């Protein structure tokens, strides 16, 4: 027996596809068989399994568990919940050797997929390629693993609340926060968490509904924050927090309705952390604002720019011993008093803690940030066979100029006007562009440089495409 995956589902950071078209129960079973075999070869035997609120998730979970046990791994089923609850199950269970969450993340309702942890590290890139190759050859072990079900929700919520350790709860009694779960998998956990937090909490869309009837659960798209903005304005709240479909990415707005983007949230967390851990390395991806890197240095930290992608960031944190990292996409990783994975619920708790420790409201913290003018993330289609080659050509050309170039992930060029970025997506046939300046004219000049480089490689920006 063997199994051939649709080539589009094996992504750089996870496995993801369209239910009934490119992904189904047979794929889930094969993932279980190969993952279990690889884990057993590495000396492991116990896997935690969770799933999100999508309509297709329970069927995929059933098939995945079948595959894992058929190849000899014992399974701990933790049920429906946010992806970070599965990460918590894997990190806090001393016997667990791996974890798999079935989730479509922030993708439309007809998508689903798998995020994996292998012996405490992200399972991505070459691991996923190898899994596909082994499935195609039927290279998997036989066995008979056991299955147990564990309810870890209460333990997870208790652990989240430790993010307020050392903060005077009485001082937070007047705090008023809005939360939007977007009908995603974080809803039930959010209800339990909010009930135990100090202050007053107003919740939106905590009922899990895989059809996402109110708005698409991607908090990095400003239109998805409209209901949260209305709630904050109507109830005169201090700030609002939103989650994506599986609760590993955070979005936020301040009390005045201004969006606090991923790199701006990281500025707040970094200022709080560096007061306690001077000199710490803070990692952000190449799409983050220069203001963040400058602010980290100003507060006595060591800023490090790294590649975009949650698996790549987590790996770099382990390598450098960084206690805090983040991405523009809203993934924030706390290894400071936590496990180093991306957990939007924990990030929400830490936003309350940071504001309290710094003695400033979230609106004051947001208001003190320099007003940079930037483009949204521009994504445009480029043939898979061409995208990396085009970036290499651009890299070569700008290297011959006297420009300040960072080639960590694509090309990021800094000029007197600000900076611009061009990189190839690891998960789609698109190039991603972004630019930031302190002036509108400066931004125009930066975008013109992007267009010029694309033109020289026979490309143009054209229509921007979604995630």
Give catalytic residues, as residue numbers.
Answer: 105
Residue 100 token pair = 């798999």
Residue 135 token pair = 């499935």
Q: Would you tell me how many other CB atoms lie within 10 Å of the CB of residue 88?
A: 28
Phi, psi of 25 (to 5 degrees): -60, -35
416-450 burial code (b ≥16 CB/10 A, e <16): ebbbbbbbbbbebebbbbbbbbeeeebbebbbebb
What is the DSSP secondary-structure string of 57-105? Answer: HHHHHHHHHHHHHHTT-EEEEEEE--HHHHHHHHHH-TT--EEEEE--T
Q: How far is CA 183 from CA 52, 133, 152, 247, 259, in A?
A: 11, 36, 21, 11, 20
In the sheet where 324-326 sits, what is the strand order?
302-306, 281-285, 324-326, 332-334
> 3-class DSSP state for residue 256?
coil
Whether residue 157 contacts residue 192, with contact meaning beta carbons closer than 8 Å, is answered with yes
Give the angle subtended at the CA of 372 by the CAs of 368 and 378, to the nearest 5°: 135
Residue 151 token pair = 């309810």
Name the residue with tokens 């309702």.
Answer: 109
Whether residue 341 contacts residue 84, with contact meaning beta carbons closer than 8 Å, is answered with yes
Whether residue 190 contacts residue 345, with contact meaning beta carbons closer than 8 Å, is answered with yes
Q: Among 373, 63, 349, 31, which residue's Cα sits nearest to residue 186?
A: 349
446: left (phi over 0), alpha (psi -120 to 50) or beta: alpha
Whether residue 239 contacts residue 227, with contact meaning beta carbons closer than 8 Å, is answered with no
Q: How many CA atoms lie within 13 A of 376 on its CB side?
A: 12
Q: Among 401, 418, 404, 411, which residue's Cα sits nearest to residue 454?
A: 411
Query: For the chain, how many residues are written?
Result: 467
């Amino acid at each position: 027996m063997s199994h051939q995956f649709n080539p589009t589902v094996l992504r750089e950071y996870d496995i993801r596809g369209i239910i009934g078209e490119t992904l189904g129960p047979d794929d889930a079973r094969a993932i279980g068989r190969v993952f279990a075999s690889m884990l057993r070869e590495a000396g492991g035997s116990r896997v935690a399994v969770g799933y999100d609120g999508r309509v297709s998730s329970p069927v995929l979970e059933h098939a995945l568990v079948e595959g894992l046990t058929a190849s000899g791994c014992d399974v701990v089923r933790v049920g429906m919940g946010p992806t970070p609850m599965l990460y918590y199950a894997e990190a806090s269970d001393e016997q667990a050797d791996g974890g798999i969450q079935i989730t479509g993340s922030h993708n439309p309702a007809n998508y689903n997929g798998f995020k994996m942890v292998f012996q405490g590290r992200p399972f991505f890139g070459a691991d996923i390629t190898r899994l596909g190759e082994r499935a195609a050859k039927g290279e998997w072990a036989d066995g008979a693993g056991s299955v147990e079900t564990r309810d870890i929700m209460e333990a997870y919520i208790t652990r989240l609340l430790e993010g307020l350790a050392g903060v005077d709860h009485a001082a937070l009694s007047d705090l008023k926060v809005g939360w939007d779960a977007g009908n995603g998998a974080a809803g039930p956990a959010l209800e339990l968490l909010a009930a135990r937090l100090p202050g007053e909490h107003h919740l939106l869309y905590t009922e899990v509904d895989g059809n996402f009837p109110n708005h698409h659960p991607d908090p990095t798209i400003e239109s998805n924050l409209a209901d949260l903005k209305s709630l904050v304005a109507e109830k005169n709240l201090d700030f609002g927090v939103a989650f994506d479909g599986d609760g590993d990415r955070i979005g936020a707005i301040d009390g005045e309705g201004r969006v606090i983007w991923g790199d701006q949230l990281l500025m707040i967390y970094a200022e709080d952390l560096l007061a306690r851990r001077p000199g710490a390395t803070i990692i952000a991806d190449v799409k983050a604002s220069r203001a963040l890197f400058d602010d980290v240095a100003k507060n006595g930290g060591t800023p490090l720019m790294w590649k975009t992608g949650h698996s790549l960031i987590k790996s770099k944190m382990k390598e450098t011993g960084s206690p805090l990292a983040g991405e523009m996409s809203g993934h924030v990783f706390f290894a400071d008093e936590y496990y180093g994975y991306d957990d939007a619920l924990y990030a929400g708790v830490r936003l309350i803690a940071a504001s309290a420790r710094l003695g400033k409201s979230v609106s004051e913290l947001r208001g003190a940030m320099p007003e940079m003018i930037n483009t949204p993330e521009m994504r445009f289609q480029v043939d898979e066979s061409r995208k990396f080659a085009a970036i290499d050509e651009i890299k070569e050309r700008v290297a011959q100029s006297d420009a300040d170039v960072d080639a960590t992930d694509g090309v990021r060029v800094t000029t007197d006007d600000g900076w611009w970025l061009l990189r190839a997506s690891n998960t789609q046939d698109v190039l991603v562009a972004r630019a930031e300046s302190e002036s509108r004219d400066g931004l125009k000049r930066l975008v013109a440089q992007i267009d010029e480089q694309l033109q020289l490689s026979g490309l143009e920006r054209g229509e921007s495409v979604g995630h």
